[in-house]
Structure 1
């Protein structure tokens, strides 16, 4: 009979080289406004997933879409300013 065991070392091993670098963490930090805006849009869409949206729901979704677009615009403009190129 073969026993099924977990390989503890493979499951819990976190070597220092597996951690995100400071540059990766900075990139995530810079993109957080976009992530938050997209989460807000998703929340607004989830609310109306099983019902007909009322006028207030439609306004909330439109506002969330505009925030996503503005966050993307600001993020891309910030990136182009860092690299010195034009977007």
Structure 2
């Protein structure tokens, strides 16, 4: 017979000392343009998941893909706070 025991890490997973550091929060903030662009692409893909995309849907997906690429490019080039030229 197996005994059920709690795992200490799971019990203490939300201790105050386990909060993200300032450096981790800054890294997340720097990635936010990429995250937003990827969320927009995902939204566009979800819209057409159960139907055939029309021309406007295809345009929306293409624009979202360009925004993701532009956000990645800007992040690599060190311009994560600025918007890219792709629209």
**Cα distance change, pair 9–55 in 1 and its aligned pair in 2 (3 A):** closer
Instruction: Check 1:17–1:23 CA distance in 2 against 1; reply closer, same or farther (3 A cut).
Output: same
Question: Alpha carbon RMSD of aligned pairs, Å?
Answer: 5.5
State the TM-score, normalizing by the size of structure 2: 0.75
CA contact (8 A) 1:80 1:86 kept: no
Gaps of 5+ in 2: none
Distance 2:28 2:21 in 1: 11
Structure that is richer in helix per residue: 1
* Greater radius of gyration (CA): 1
Q: Give the TM-score of the pair, scaled to structure 1.
A: 0.75
> Residues of 1 paired with 2:77 and 2:57: CA distance?
30
Cα shift readout 1:30-85 (whole Å, capped 9, x = no counterpart) = 00000000000000000000000000000000000000000000011118999999
